[in-house]
Structure 1
Amino acid sequence: MTVRHPWQYVPGLSALLFLSLLMVAPPAMAQTAATPDDYGKLADTLENDASRQALIEQLRGLQAASNPSPLGLEDEVPATEIAADAPSGQTAGQVSLARRMAAATGNMAGDIGRQFAALGALVTGWMGDSSETAAASPAVDWKAVSAALLNLAILVVTTFVLFAVLRTLAGPAFTRLSGWARAGSEKLAILRTTVAVALAAVLDVIVVGLAYLGGTFVAPLLTEQLGADATRLALFLNAFLVVELIKAGLRMFFSSRYEGLRLLPVAADQARYCNGFLAREAGWVGYGMLVLVPVLNFNVSPALGSGVGTLIMLLALVYAAAVILRKKSVLADALGRRAQASAGPLRLVLLLLARTWHWLALAYALLVFAVTVLNPDTALPYVAKATLLTLVYVGLGMLVAVALAQLIGKEVQFSERLNASMPRLQARVNTYIPTGLKVIRALILALVVVLSLDAWHLYDLAAWYATPAGAQVVASLIDILIILALAAAVWVALASLVEHKFSPGEDSSAAQAARGETLLGLFHTTLAITIIIMTAMIVLSEVGVDIGPLIAGAGVLGLAIGFGAQKLVQDVITGVFIQVENAMNTGDFVSVGGNSGTVERVGIRSVALRDLYGTYHIVPFSSVDAVSNFTREYGNHVGEYGIAYRESIDDAIVQLEAAFEALKEGPHKDNILAPMTVAGVTALADSSVNIRVVIKTTPGNQWAVGRAFNRLVKIYFDQAGIEIPFPHTTLYFGEDRDGSAPAARVRLADDRVVSTQGSGDN
């Protein structure tokens, strides 16, 4: 199945691809066929010693002065001619670039005007009756032209009929390849599509080659039987081979009939439009420049051939510009949607490209046309090669990026057994995959840009790489990438091993789970710091930095920090030993440094506690003299219950045991680990006899169990009438100085309060 992404509608790109087709047409416009008179004049020149020597000197001078620029503007417009009439007396080297470009533009316009003027003169000469025009225009043998056209038409029809038949016979193979590419899993879609397209391209080339061979078999028959010109027939066959191979390449990207054989992820109607447009332009430019122009040059007039060639290229330029302007919003919208889904510098680049791509395409089209007119012999092959190489680099880069994205996928799935032993491995790998893909895409983009700039000869990549500095830079870059990849792999492997060692299993207790979480955090931090420092040092050594002074400086700095920050060093060392001894874990209730609370975080230099009031305490390990852990293995509720001296101790113990039995039947039954232990009478206090009991509970639950047991003890003592002593208070109402207001006496009798005062009745 073909993968889709936001660049689904790209018909505007077809115009850019067509501009590259303009490059592959050979410089037929510059071809001029030599006439018999030219041969005679050349022979006369060579026979004369003086003229021959002058010709040799002229050729040597041209060789010494020829130094064409990439676009060939200097050959068209010598700087000496521009500066010849400069009022300021400028030399050729002082002429400004702007004046040279203006002169080149003027010469280009003049060349186009002269070509069309010559073309108009020839047409007027054929159709007019004046003797001067007839003398200036070459005579045309229309009978010979008709016969030549008939012979060429026979070959054209035969070749294209054979090509159509072969394409029809190959149709079922294309259909099966398309179906195979669209079947199967989405993960391998790009690989199947690439293989299917490659096989289809080979089959397409074979069909074109067989049709070409069929045409070469018919051509000699036409030459022998009808006296046809073998050169004209060969021109068509060569043009057929070139144009149809170009169309076969287009079908790899814009296959309209077979969706599975389409490399670019565009819709079927868009592919049909792009393929039709590019095929028409390829046929127009290819057959026109490779067949029509050479025939006109040789058989009619070089001026006519040059003018027709210019007209063909101009019409192709106008058509391409019309498509670019008509489809500019389609590609701009697609780029805009892609930009909205991106972030960072890529988003800005895509937004800028969405607004300016059509201007860039038009400028490139004008550049192609300009170099075609100015200097097709040197500039045109240069631009053609650079354009085709750029398209190849961009296409391969996109193909590799998409293939990697599909092969790796958005998420990696591990087996249940591996996930059970290393529970965070899958999440960690799936976190790093998008980052890795972004890095790979950035490297591919950088490589495409570098190769494209080299294709346009903005610098010589091969020469730069041949230098020691270039080879060293490339080797260092490759080494750094390998080091970073190995560092990431080592981090994933070691972190996963630590998780496998310390991650609690399904049957682990709460204490083991807390210890595992604490040690995981500690080892993860240590591993991360170690790997980052080692990787940074190795990378610095690869880029040529001497890390010896850095290591020595780090040692001196560490020594200075050790003396100046002894508390920090003490914190770290104490924290390491506390973790090794398993003194506390996350979730434990501890008392350290004068603070008590639940451990929320255990770091490498401090511990964070949350007390009962919600206060958050951070206690440095250097201030920890002892660690009191209340949630380790088990807890004890130690309760002391006082009874009055007149009560029976044995009856009180019976009620305590009854309260414990009720406790075991309540909600805390799972938190009680052993029967209650009655330690006995611990003290004969001033107003009570104290009895101690001990209840063993699960760790951390001793306080909850104690509160529940205290409630039950009060209930059972009340039911048994056992007094729990409490302080007694004497009320004194006071009296006057003369004693006339004696204190009130209050007593309880038959649940009624009787009050007497003074010396009244008792």
Structure 2
Amino acid sequence: MAQAQSQEPTSAPSYDALAEVLENEQSRQQLISQLRSLAKQQTPAVTESATENTASTEASIPSQLAETTSEIAGGLSDQFTNLVEVTGNLFTGDLAEDNAGFNSANFMNAAINLGMVILATVVLFWLLRRLASPLFTRLSYWSRHGAGKTQVLRLVACVVLATAVDVLAVGLAYVGGNLVATFMVGETGELTTQASLFLNAFMVIELLKAGLRVLFSSRYDGLRLLPINATEAAYWNRWLALLIGLVGYGIMVLEPLINLNISSTLGQGVNTLMMFAAYIYALTVILKNRTRLRHAIRVKAESSTIAAGQFSLILLSRTWHLIALAYFTVVLVLTLLSPAEALPFVLYATLKTLGIVVIAILLSSLLSQTIGRRITLSDELRRKLPLLEPRLNSYIPAALRFLRVLIVSMAILLIFNAWYIVDLNAWYESEAGGKLMSKIIGVAIILAVAALAWVVLASLIEHKLNPETGSGQPSARAQTLLLLFRNAVAIALATLTIMIALSEIGINIGPLIAGAGVLGLAIGFGAQKLVQDIITGVFIQIENAMNTGDVVTLAGITGTAEKLSIRSVGIRDLSGTYHIIPFSSVDTVSNYMREFAFHVGEYRVAYRESIDEAIVQLQNAFDELAASEDNKHEILAPLEVAGVISLADSSVIIRVRIKTTPGMQWAVGRAYNRLVKLHFDSAGIEIPFPHSTVYFGVGKEGQAPSANVRLMEQDFDINGHPGGHAKSGEKVLPANRKTPVSNDAPNDDD
């Protein structure tokens, strides 16, 4: 103990000697080098001790939290006691034990010199900003109203250029302040410690404020990255700039000056008071704007078109104040625990967080303005592939949603990594992280290839279906087969994509394939009718038995085939009824729309008419029909006259046939029947209609007796009704007997 006491005075450094060393530039540099070498030598020991304590530290988190809380409370109590004591000593002038070198005159002189440096630097910076103001105005105008590039790209370019000018102004002001401090204030050629502290703080704080102006530019709307109005930008820019200035200048200037000139204890206490003041100020602003900002975020959420983004914004609107309070609380705690290490970490993590958020917003805006707008193809490509443009535009919303979710997820992970909540580098370098990333990339490539394949195949099918390209108007069979092929390709491509993606993820698809086979076999046994429908439908399509738009007769139903699927056909009959007929119930397909058709007409003439004259009139009617504008293009051959096909009971039947285009036989037949009636009427040819014969009986000699017809002696009025009076000498028949019945009526029966 005596030896230790004897060595203590010699080992204790002299304050005068230390001051002389610090005043000499060469001695100061040597001291700094020696201290750094000693720090390097102590690093392994510190690391070993930290490693030894890792297990115990991680073993009990609650106890560690309790110990940390106790340390903070004890440290605050000690700081408050020391602060009160030092403040009392300051007013009583008793600071000999704390800082023997304090001199009030020197302190005032240093304060005046520092004030001159501050004034010169701030004025120079203000002048440089004023000179750059016209440039900022032009950049803002071009960013908002310029032509050429995408608006987001213009915004980024203008913000980068304006930030470069802003940083240049900060640098020039810093250089100017150094020149003033070196050659105009204090001893010429020397930069005082106070001036150096302020200038370094000025450089850091103004660069941070320049970053704030990038986000919350209040005077130049075209140089603001965040999508908020000028009023909101001015408010938050002013609040954050004040907070940065308070904390920055307090920690980087005020505290070191107090430590050097007055007392380190007082400086530490002032630092703690400033952190608490900044914390209370931040809490006040957050709670004051809680409702207003929540409403603004809610409005932004309502305008979002993505469900995930809308949900995230609504959640943020309800919890943003909690996140902000937690952030400032963590900053305060870290600062109280380890101010030398916590502040750089918090500053760096905060800057990284802001950068990640800004980049994510810019990427989202860039995607919306580049691929978010409607894709417009050229007229030639739109003519060849009419459905390609709508298909691509239908994919854009889904692609944007996926990319935005990916951007948000990556931003959250990077923010967690910036605050050391997760370690992305270690996770990615691990085996599990590498495998997961490779699987995600593989699945993304599979989905992209499948989407590209579907677009190409669907576009080729549309090219074949388009009458303006390929080989012209496709046939109905080609249209039906191509549409069925497109559906089959879609199903097969979707199935293969799902199977390959599951296999890439690591799921064994062997049991799935086996299960699908067993299920297919069970379905085959249990749904034989369905299988029969599908097989029959396939062969009907292959044999081109019918196509959409054909008039057919199936299962006793005649109508137009409106919809063909792989297992059934939809037919609408003449009355408008829609029938769905499974192919398994189809034995015969009668198609009226193949190559050509015939109108078969059978026309009756009376026995007393000339057959040759009737055939001439039929030909005349056909000639007139073939010369009409409405029907001449539908008739494919001259009139075919089959002749007399039957001698019926009351007429002679003549058959003719007209060859027409498929589907027009009914319209041509209706027009021809009209003309036949007109020509027969003009030629006086009778078209028989049903006759009635009154039979009075026949005697054994084969002659019928004459009919006993008498006129009743009864008065009738002029209309033939009983009870009237006829004219003198005029016999009037009853109204229901226009002519007398005679046995000479022709014996014609229909």
TM-score by length of 1: 0.78
Choose 447-456 or 191-200, whichever is displaced more: 447-456
Cα deviations across residues 150-205 of structure 1 (Å, max 9, x unaligned)? 11112112222322333333334333433332244587110121122122222222
Q: State the one-letter code of the partner of 1:585.
A: N
Contact 2:162/2:223 (<8 A) preserved: yes
Out of 687, 694, 704, the residue aligned to residue 657 of structure 2 is 694
Residues 581 and 423 (structure 1), Cα distance of their counterparts in 2 relative to 1, 3 Å cut = farther
Residues 507 and 657 (structure 1), Cα distance of their counterparts in 2 relative to 1, 3 Å cut = farther
Out of 99, 115, 120, the residue aligned to residue 79 of structure 2 is 115
Distance 2:120 2:229 in 1: 34
* Residue equivalent to 1:295: 257
Residues 633 and 749 (structure 1), Cα distance of their counterparts in 2 relative to 1, 3 Å cut = farther
The reply on whether 1:449 has 2:434 as its aligned counterpart is no
Distance 1:507 1:488 in 2: 24
Contact 1:683/1:691 (<8 A) preserved: yes
* Residue equivalent to 2:559: 597
Superposed counterparts of 1:328-727, under 5 Å: 328-341=290-303, 342=305, 344-505=307-468, 512=474, 514-515=476-477, 517-547=479-509, 550-551=512-513, 568-657=530-619, 659-660=621-622, 668-669=630-631, 672-674=634-636, 677-679=639-641, 680-718=643-681, 720-727=683-690
Q: State the one-letter code of the partner of 1:317.
A: Y
Q: State the one-letter code of the partner of 2:327.
A: Y
* Residue equivalent to 2:180: 218
Residues 165 and 154 (structure 1), Cα distance of their counterparts in 2 relative to 1, 3 Å cut = same
Distance 1:744 1:268 in 2: 118
Residues 750 and 388 (structure 1), Cα distance of their counterparts in 2 relative to 1, 3 Å cut = closer
How far did residue 301 of structure 1 move? 1.4
State the secondary structure of the residue aligned to 2:377: coil
How far did residue 706 of structure 1 move? 2.5
* Residue equivalent to 2:160: 198
State the secondary structure of the residue aligned to 2:339: coil
How far did residue 499 of structure 1 move? 0.7
The reply on whether 1:64 has 2:64 as its aligned counterpart is no
Residues 362 and 437 (structure 1), Cα distance of their counterparts in 2 relative to 1, 3 Å cut = same
How far did residue 304 of structure 1 move? 1.9
Distance 1:629 1:176 in 2: 75
The reply on whether 1:272 has 2:234 as its aligned counterpart is yes
Out of 143, 154, 158, the residue aligned to residue 105 of structure 2 is 143
* Residue equivalent to 2:194: 232
How far did residue 379 of structure 1 move? 4.5
How far did residue 550 of structure 1 move? 5.0
Distance 2:436 2:51 in 1: 36
Distance 1:662 1:271 in 2: 86
Q: Which structure is richer in relative contact order (CA contacts within 8 A, separation 6 or more)?
A: 1
* Residue equivalent to 1:82: none
Out of 117, 128, 133, the residue aligned to residue 166 of structure 1 is 128
* Residue equivalent to 2:738: 753
- List runs of 5+ in structure 2 lacking aligned partners: 1-12, 20-40, 698-705, 712-732, 744-750
Contact 1:732/1:743 (<8 A) preserved: no
Superposed counterparts of 1:19-34, under 5 Å: none
How far did residue 453 of structure 1 move? 2.4
Q: State the one-letter code of the partner of 1:200.
A: A
State the secondary structure of the residue aligned to 2:646: strand
Distance 1:335 1:732 in 2: 103
Distance 1:577 1:222 in 2: 102
Contact 2:308/2:405 (<8 A) preserved: no
Residues 617 and 607 (structure 1), Cα distance of their counterparts in 2 relative to 1, 3 Å cut = same
State the secondary structure of the residue aligned to 2:570: strand
Q: State the one-letter code of the partner of 1:393.
A: I
How far did residue 647 of structure 1 move? 1.5
Contact 1:676/1:693 (<8 A) preserved: no
* Residue equivalent to 1:6: none
Cα deviations across residues 64-110 of structure 1 (Å, max 9, x unaligned)? 378899xxxx9xxx99xxxxxxxxxxxx977x82x765665565455
Distance 2:417 2:430 in 1: 16
Q: State the one-letter code of the partner of 2:230.
A: A
Contact 2:113/2:186 (<8 A) preserved: no
Distance 2:741 2:569 in 1: 66
- List runs of 5+ in structure 1 lacking aligned partners: 1-33, 41-55, 80-91, 735-741
State the secondary structure of the residue aligned to 1:700: coil
Residues 490 and 757 (structure 1), Cα distance of their counterparts in 2 relative to 1, 3 Å cut = closer
Distance 1:330 1:186 in 2: 37
How far did residue 482 of structure 1 move? 1.1
Residues 93 and 518 (structure 1), Cα distance of their counterparts in 2 relative to 1, 3 Å cut = closer
Distance 1:594 1:436 in 2: 50
TM-score by length of 2: 0.79
Contact 1:637/1:706 (<8 A) preserved: yes
How far did residue 215 of structure 1 move? 2.3
Q: State the one-letter code of the partner of 2:162.
A: A
Contact 1:590/1:630 (<8 A) preserved: yes
State the secondary structure of the residue aligned to 2:657: strand
How far did residue 439 of structure 1 move? 0.8
How far did residue 601 of structure 1 move? 1.1
State the secondary structure of the residue aligned to 2:562: strand
Distance 1:321 1:433 in 2: 43
* Residue equivalent to 1:188: 150
Q: State the one-letter code of the partner of 2:173.
A: A
Distance 1:215 1:108 in 2: 39
Distance 1:559 1:108 in 2: 73
Residues 750 and 606 (structure 1), Cα distance of their counterparts in 2 relative to 1, 3 Å cut = closer
Q: Which has the larger radius of gyration?
A: 2
State the secondary structure of the residue aligned to 1:628: strand
Distance 2:469 2:98 in 1: 103
State the secondary structure of the residue aligned to 2:579: strand
How far did residue 603 of structure 1 move? 1.4
How far did residue 217 of structure 1 move? 2.8
Residues 670 and 659 (structure 1), Cα distance of their counterparts in 2 relative to 1, 3 Å cut = closer
* Residue equivalent to 2:279: 317
Residues 556 and 106 (structure 1), Cα distance of their counterparts in 2 relative to 1, 3 Å cut = closer
Residues 378 and 137 (structure 1), Cα distance of their counterparts in 2 relative to 1, 3 Å cut = closer
**Aligned-pair Cα RMSD in Å:** 4.1
Contact 1:151/1:228 (<8 A) preserved: no
Contact 2:636/2:661 (<8 A) preserved: no
Distance 1:381 1:136 in 2: 28
Distance 1:460 1:506 in 2: 57
How far did residue 500 of structure 1 move? 0.4
How far did residue 493 of structure 1 move? 0.9
Cα deviations across residues 588-614 of structure 1 (Å, max 9, x unaligned)? 211234432211111123222222233
